[in-house]
Amino acid sequence: MKVLKNYINGSWVESREQSTVDVVNPANQEVLAKVPYGEGTAADVELAVESAVKALDEWRNVPVMRRVQPLYQLKQLLEKHVDELGRLITLECGKSLPESKAEIQRGIENVETACATPMLMQSEFSENVAPGIDEFMIRQPVGVCACVAPFNFPGMIPFWFLPYALACGNSFILKPSEKVPLTMMKVFELIDQLDLPKGLVSLVHGGKDSVDAILDHPQVKAISFVGSTPVARYIYQRGTANGKRVQAQGGAKNPVLVMPDADMEMTAKIIADSVYGCAGQRCLAASNIITIGDKKGTITEALLEAAKSKTTGFGLDEGIEMGPVITPESKRRIESLIAKGVSEGANLLLDGRNTTVSGYEKGNFIKPTILENVALEGEIIKTEIFGPVMSLIHMDAIDEAIDFVNSNNFGNMACLFTTSGLNARTFRNRANAGNIGINIGVAAPMAQFPFSGWNDSFFGDLHGQGRHAIEFFTQTKVVIERWPQEWTRKF
């Protein structure tokens, strides 16, 4: 079984760490590869940073119009290899093939947006702020930047950061999740074909040891992270304590409100796609579904039917809509949380536990689950399950539901389904979340907009994607120049 190499200084090199962990297909427990994991990976980070510092001296002075040229080529390479990348995502992450290929497409959109960096990072200029004095602001690279990526979107999330960092003149180090490193291994094979300085982009494997080495290294100036809230808080606190810029996306418990005037059948299908897409393992998955004034149970019945219709299995098989969760440990955790919800008084409207898929008996499968009347003061209502579980709550009025939304410690996404413009306007104005959806099940911003997050869902000031990414990966310099016809000491 092959042990994965790091990509450092333009070459594939073996890790300094001899210990490994398995990369496992969650549908059948097949070992796909082995990845370095242990204290020695900190030495790998040191090598990557050393080469990144050297490459930075050359790259930061390359004109921005030239810096984006390799990104155009990267876009073409990614498009050419969408099928292969999608298959790798399905094998190591578990999601269905259509989901995996759609993920790569969203990554490509970020590469496209980063190609607009020559315009996005243009400076501001004011002439004659005083006689003979001009003042302007320019943007310059931050330096060596790093990303610690999660398991659930191995082909998309690194592209929230990597193309922008490069276009802005920085060098970049990526540490993919040890659970799903194969997708980025393939992406770096494509990056290796680009005309970039050696050492400008590196890939380093590992776990907490390599992350801490990144957080503590004095030459690393900016860190991007996506993952759970406890780890996001740790990354932010340790990184900022070391004087680094940090953007750390945390977890979520996303609420979706359904008004009685919504199109019930279509709304139910869209919500089911949101709750159960990617087996619920995404930070924008709908979780707490709040029906408003559903006294006849119309939307409840529609949600139940939509959930039952989902086909669960191996993501490369025909017609599969939902794959397994990432590990056996995740499956056990999710199933224990379902049991916890029942113990807190919830009605188990649909039970997806103890699922076995023929031909994949060792897979980490959980079918769609619905917990109805979840206790508002219980643990489940505020815990990120990160699995295919819907918590169904019934309320009488939109104001009551918005108050409940705003009591959430998280603030990643909140959505409303309605045909009322007034209700939609009220909701988008009052709901405390960074991404708001109106008649949308997954309010995922396009690449031109920042991936916002509030409260415990985000630590930092500038988010990934779009103009926020340009601002995060550049530092501003204000220049005041005097070129007078007659010299004076006045300003």
Q: Residue 17: which of 8, 6, 33 has the closest Cα?
A: 6
| Cα distance from N-terminal residue to C-terminal residue, the chain | 70
Residue 296 predicted with pLDDT over 90: no
Q: Are 462 and 472 in contact (CB under 8 A)?
A: yes
Choose the catalytic residue: 147, 278, 283, 415. Answer: 283
Q: What is the pLDDT of residues 49-70, one digit of tens each?
A: 999 999 999 999 999 999 999 9
pLDDT at 387: 97
Alpha-carbon distance values, 272 to 304, 305, 413, 435 (Å): 9, 9, 16, 19
Q: For residue 413, what are its two tokens?
A: 């996404």
Burial of 127 (0-12, 13-18, 19+ CB in 10 A): exposed
Which residue did the predictor score with more confidence, 152 or 491?
152
- The DSSP symbol for 152 reads S
pLDDT at 162: 98
Alpha-carbon gap, residue 153 to 158, rounded angstroms: 9
Up-side HSE of residue 438: CA atoms within 13 Å toward CB? 13
pTM score: 0.95
The pLDDT-based confidence of 486 (bands split at 50, 70, 90) is confident
CB count in 10 Å sphere of residue 1: 9
Burial of 304 (0-12, 13-18, 19+ CB in 10 A): buried
Residue 356 predicted with pLDDT over 80: yes
3-state secondary structure string across 189-239: HHHCCCCCCCCCEEECCCCHHHHHHHHHCCCEEEEEEECCHHHHHHHHHHH
Residue 484 predicted with pLDDT over 90: no
pLDDT at 491: 72
To the query of whether residue 283 is one of the catalytic residues in this protein, the response is: yes
Q: What are phi and psi of 98, to 5 degrees?
A: -60, -40
pLDDT at 489: 77
Interacting residues of 444 by C-beta distance below 8 A, sequence separation 6+: 106, 284, 435, 451
Give the distance between the most distant pair of CA atoms in the chain.
87
Q: What is the pLDDT of residues 382-415, one digit of tens each?
A: 999 999 999 999 999 999 999 999 999 999 999 9
pLDDT at 468: 97
Kind plus residue range of the DSSP H or E element containing 467: helix 466-472
Q: Are 436 and 415 in contact (CB under 8 A)?
A: yes
Q: What is the pLDDT of residues 66-118, one digit of tens each?
A: 999 999 999 999 999 999 999 999 999 999 999 999 999 999 999 999 999 99
Query: Average of pLDDT values for 28-44?
Result: 97
Alpha-carbon gap, residue 441 to 268, rounded angstroms: 10
Query: Average of pLDDT values for 300-308?
Result: 96
The pLDDT-based confidence of 488 (bands split at 50, 70, 90) is confident
Q: What is the mean pLDDT of the chain?
A: 96
Residue 481 predicted with pLDDT over 90: yes
Q: What is the pLDDT of residues 168-210, one digit of tens each?
A: 999 999 999 999 999 999 999 999 999 999 999 999 999 999 9
Strands 144-148 and 413-417: unpaired
Q: Is 314 helix (H, G, I), strand (E, B) or coil?
A: coil
Interacting residues of 377 by C-beta distance below 8 A, sequence separation 6+: none
* Range of lowest pLDDT (203-207, 214-218, 291-295): 291-295
Kind plus residue range of the DSSP H or E element containing 141: strand 133-141
Q: What are phi and psi of 469, to 5 degrees?
A: -65, -40
Query: Average of pLDDT values for 215-243?
Result: 98
Interacting residues of 234 by C-beta distance below 8 A, sequence separation 6+: none
pLDDT at 423: 96
Residue 295 predicted with pLDDT over 90: no
Q: For residue 77, what are its two tokens?
A: 């390479």
Alpha-carbon gap, residue 397 to 156, rounded angstroms: 38
